[in-house]
Amino acid sequence: MKAFNLLCMVAAMSGAPAWSHRPPVELTVWDRGGNESSSLLYGIMFEVTNQTGDGGIHGQLLRNNGFQGDEPGLLAYAPIGDVDIDQDSDNPVSDAITSSLRLSVLEGETAFVGFANQGYNGVPVMNETYTSEFWMKGDYDGNITLQLVGSTSGEVYANHNLTVHSTADKFTQWETTFNSTASPDGENEWRLLVDGYKVAGRSMNFGLVQLFPPTFHSRKNGLRDDVAKVVEDLRPSFLRFPGGNNIEGLEVNNRWKWNETIGPVVDRPGRQSPWHVPNTDALGLDEYMYWCEDMGMEPFLILWNGKSYDEILSGPDLDPYIEDALNELEYLTGPPDSIYGKLRVQNGREEPWKLTYVGIGNEDDYTGGCETNPERFTRFYNILREKYPDLVLISSTMKPECLPEELPKPLILDQHYYRKPDELVGMFDYWDNQPRDQPVIVGEFGARNFTDPDGVFWTFMQMACSEAAHMIGIERNSDIIKMAAYAPLLQHYGFTQWSPTMIGLDSSPGSLTLSTSYYVQQMFSTNRGSTILPVNTTSPFGPLYWGASKNDESYIVKLANYGDEEQTIAINVPETTSGRLHKLEGPKETANLPHDVQILPQKQEVDNPDGIYEVKMAAWGVAVLVVS
Ligand code: AHR
């Protein structure tokens, strides 16, 4: 198709519209000539930052339930009635859960007494069915009452009795389900009460208390349904896990150890994560894989490759860890009669997991990883390539100085960046000049503003627009960019360690907040082309950015107005007549805050037999036109 004067064409076809402001930017979408686009382009990166594994997307709502991490103490527990409670390491629940909670009841007690767990700054109490579990040791035959109660109001939302027969010689496990009514706020606790008359003057032990609301796909030990559903609404194609810094650990010994995150939760010791909080690992390797399967995502598993934050192993010291990585892969993908495949079957999964994408470490261009990475990477790559020729292998950096001089093939390189909004927009053409024969992944990206004195903030319209402009740049290059993920995904308000994030929540009803960045990700991910199309125009990029693509059904035009002025865009998509226009618009600094959502996407039908669509964009707006 030859370049032509689009202004004349618009006038001729639609009868010289009276443009209210500046003349429109005119775009004509060609229907051939572009590059293919990766079908996996948009996905998610997840790690436990911001208390978002425990206390976030994982369904279990009670905190410090296994006394894990560096200094658990009685964090989140409180006595109910005339009792003493303490952490008792002489009565471990299991080899992994090395303490329990001792409940000592005073002489002469006659009432129901016990203890509360106050969750992650409260327990979300909804009009739902809950499942609760606990382990107990001590002679007791009779009723135990479980309650969900307002911590200061004392309002009881659920009150449920179960009969137990517990003995003093060992811990036994009890599980029950009950209904609750909804609490108006998040200030709630879970309570376990025993008949004080039966235990007066004695003590009993309790451990690994658990409380689950409905879980995604009703999985046992599953994800919180409400949180998982908004993640699913992003229609992500892949999940990069378990980190991020979380895979690395601060030292070698507290790296993410796959084999300590599998099997019954009572056998998982948990660890102090590099985000300086205890991690139960109830969200473990198999749970990540179920998450992928239930959302139809490709797992993108990161292997530990010798680099922790403050300690790096290389040379022969790496050998046992390479072996360990191979065991992990056998656990996931080996036949049921292989050593580790058998373990997977024991843990409830007969069929090998589907696994194609495997990353070798995280960010080996930072925290001292660069120097030894060429050697570490090569050793991992060679053995993985030999034993698993079908895996797609991904290096954790694309800096040449951190990689072997000659790159093995096939290989994908992963690069991460967090930038101020202007800088991210400045990277619009960053990928344009990359060699076309080297596939890459943007495993983490996002706009940050770095200006808030407390370092905590929520993404606002300008940031979302900068991400949209940058992602148009990514889409233009999605022949080589195979995957891209905004990060981090989630934050639990009150536990923020890294912000902004796409989604936030706390224990209060209605706190699940979808940021402006979330909506941009959703608009881009749910409207994907398989072929990128050239766009003809006389206008330069900036402050308006655009890109076009098509799939089997539609043509898609994505627009980001990264500027203070309204824009009018005349978009010619020949041989189309109608479709829809998605928009996200709002004042530059407006954010969706918890309990104060200001900006929601809008959708309108568009209809034009001429195939020319006039799109008006407010300042700081993102739009996606889908027509056929
Ligand atoms: O997403 C937050 C952190 O940023 C990740 O853990 C790490 O990979 C990156 O530096």
Q: What is the pLDDT of residues 290-310, one digit of tens each?
A: 999 999 999 999 999 999 999
| 244 C-alpha to ligand 1 centroid (Å) | 5
Ligand 1 centre distance from Cα of residue 50 (Å): 12
Please give the share of the chain, as a percent, with pLDDT higher than 70. 95
Q: Find residue 241's DSSP bridge partners.
A: 301
359 lines ligand 1 (CB under 6 A): no
Give me ligand 1 centre to Cα 85, in Å. 38
Q: How many whole angstroms from 347 Cα to the centroid of ligand 1?
A: 30
CB atoms within 10 A of CB 534: 16
Beta-bridge mates of residue 413: 395, 440
Ligand 1 centre from 143 Cα, in Å? 47
Question: Is the minimum distance from the CB of 118 to ligand 1 under 6 angstroms?
Answer: no
Residue 10: predicted pLDDT: 32
627: left (phi over 0), alpha (psi -120 to 50) or beta: beta
Taking the centre of ligand 1 as the mean of its atom positions, its distance from the CA of residue 486, in whole angstroms, is: 11
Instruction: Determine the pLDDT at residue 456.
Output: 63
Q: Which atom of ligand 1 is nearest to the CA of 487?
A: 1
In ligand 1, the atom with minimum distance to the C-alpha of 45 is 1
Residues 6+ away with beta carbon under 8 Å from 524: 42, 468, 471, 475, 558, 624
CA separation for the pair 407, 416 (Å, rounded): 19
Residue bearing the CA closest to ligand 1, atom 2: 488
- For residue 540, is pLDDT > 50? yes
**514: pLDDT confidence band, cut at 50, 70 and 90?**
very high
Q: Indicate the top mutation candidate among 240, 246, 362, 486 to test ligand 1's pocket, ranked by most ligand atoms within 8 A of CB.
A: 362
Q: Whose CA is nearest to atom 9 of ligand 1?
A: 244
Neighbouring-strand partners of residue 122: 119
Q: What is the pLDDT of residues 442-493, one digit of tens each?
A: 999 999 976 666 656 789 999 999 999 999 999 999 999 999 999 999 999 9
Please, which pLDDT band fits residue 23 given cuts at 50, 70 and 90? Answer: confident
Cβ(362) – ligand 1 distance below 6 Å: yes
With tokens 């010791």, the residue in question is: 269
d(CA 626, CA 628): 7
Is the bond preceding 543 in cis, omega lying within 30 degrees of 0?
yes
Give the closest residue to 458 by CA, choosing from 511, 524, 508. Answer: 511
Residue 133 has pLDDT above 80, yes or no: yes
* Beta carbons of 325 and 303 less than 8 angstroms apart: yes
Question: How many CB atoms sit inside 10 A of residue 45's CB?
Answer: 26
Distance 137 CA to ligand 1 centre (A): 41
Main-chain dihedrals φ then ψ at residue 407, nearest 5 degrees: -80, 135
Report the nearest-CA residue for atom 6 of ligand 1: 244
Which one-letter DSSP state was computed for residue 23? P
What pLDDT score was predicted for residue 12? 30
Our answer on whether the CB atom of 501 is closer than 6 Å to any ligand 1 atom is no
In this structure, which amino acid lies at residue 32?
A: R
Q: How does pLDDT run across 340-365, given as a tens digit for each residue?
A: 999 999 999 999 999 999 999 999 99
Reply yes or no on whether the pLDDT at 283 is more than 90: yes
Assign 3-class secondary structure to 593-621. Answer: ECCECCCCCEEEEEECCCCEEEEEECCCE
Is 248's C-beta closer than 6 angstroms to any atom of ligand 1?
no
Predicted TM-score (pTM) of the model is 0.95
- Ligand 1 and 244: CB distance under 6 A: yes
* Sheet of 481-486, strand order: 44-45, 238-241, 298-303, 357-360, 392-395, 412-419, 440-447, 481-486
Binding site membership of 485 for ligand 1 (Cβ less than 6 Å): no
Residue 277 Cα to ligand 1 midpoint, Å, equals: 16
Identify which of 12-16, 22-26, 157-161 has the greatest average pLDDT: 157-161
Name the residue among 262, 264, 378 with its Cα closest to residue 318: 378
Average pLDDT over residues 506-533: 97
Q: Are 579 and 625 in contact (CB under 8 A)?
A: yes
DSSP β-bridge partners for residue 452 = none
Q: How much helix, strand and coil, in percent to the nearest 5, is found in the chain?
A: 20, 30, 45
Residue 330 Cβ inside 6 Å of ligand 1? The answer reads: no
Question: At how many degrees (to 10) do helices 285-295 and 225-232 cross?
Answer: 50
CATH superfamily for domain 3-39+530-627? Golgi alpha-mannosidase II (2.60.40.1180)
Angle at alpha carbon of residue 570, lines to 564 and 576, rounded to 5° = 140
- Distance between CA atoms of 583 and 27, rounded to whole angstroms? 18
State in words which class domain 243-411 has: alpha beta
Query: Does the beta carbon of 488 sit less than 6 angstroms from any atom of ligand 1?
Result: yes
Element housing 516 (H / E): helix 516-525
**Which residue minimizes the CA distance to atom 5 of ligand 1?**
244
Quick one: which atom of ligand 1 is closest to the CA of 243?
6
Q: Is 498 in the pocket of ligand 1 (CB under 6 A)?
A: yes
Please name the residues in contact with 456: beta carbons below 8 A apart, sequence gap of 6 or more: 496, 499
Is the beta carbon of 49 within 6 A of some atom in ligand 1? yes
- DSSP string computed for 207-266: EEEEEE--BGGG-TT-BBHHHHHHHHTT--SEEEES-SHHHH-SSGGGS--GGGSSS-GG
Q: Is the pLDDT of residue 19 over 50?
A: no
305 in Cβ contact with 380 (< 8 Å): yes
Give the C-alpha separation, 365 to 381, whole Å.
Answer: 17
Q: What is the pLDDT of residue 13?
A: 35
pLDDT-derived band of residue 2, with 50, 70 and 90 as boundaries?
very low
Which residue out of 46, 52, 245 has the highest number of ligand 1 atoms within 8 Å of its CB and is therefore the one to mutate? Answer: 245
Q: Is the C-beta atom of 446 inside 6 A of ligand 1? A: no
Q: Average per-residue pLDDT in the chain?
A: 94
Residue 15 — very low, low, confident or very high, per pLDDT cuts 50/70/90?
very low
Confidence of residue 192 (pLDDT cuts 50, 70, 90): very high
Cα of 243 to ligand 1 centre, how many Å? 7
Kindly state the DSSP code that residue 42 receives in the 8-state scheme: B
Q: Which atom of ligand 1 is nearest to the CA of 488?
A: 1
Atom of ligand 1 nearest to the CA of 246: 6
Question: What pLDDT does residue 457 have?
Answer: 74
Ligand 1 atom 3: residue of nearest CA: 244
Ligand 1 contacts CB of residue 444 (under 6 A): yes
- 497: Cβ contacts below 8 Å, ≥ 6 apart: 49, 50, 275, 276
Q: What is the CATH number of domain 77-212?
A: 2.60.120.260
| Chain Cα centroid distance, residue 122 | 22
Tokens 């009841």 belong to which residue?
A: 105
User: Rounded to the nearest 5 degrees, what angle is found at the Cα of 151, between the Cα atoms of 148 and 152?
Assistant: 140
Structural domain boundaries of the chain? 3-39+530-627, 77-212, 243-411
Distance CA 80, CA 144 (A): 14
Provide the pLDDT for residue 22.
Answer: 67
Pocket residue to mutate for ligand 1, from 363, 364, 419, 499, most atoms within 8 A of Cβ: 363
Instruction: From residue 478, give the alpha-carbon distance in Å to each of 66, 482, 499, 532, 549.
Output: 45, 6, 27, 8, 11
Q: Give the span between the Cα atoms of 309 and 253, in whole angstroms.
A: 11
Among residues 279, 300, 304, 280, which one has the least CA distance to residue 289?
300
Find the 245 Cα to ligand 1 centroid distance in Å.
6
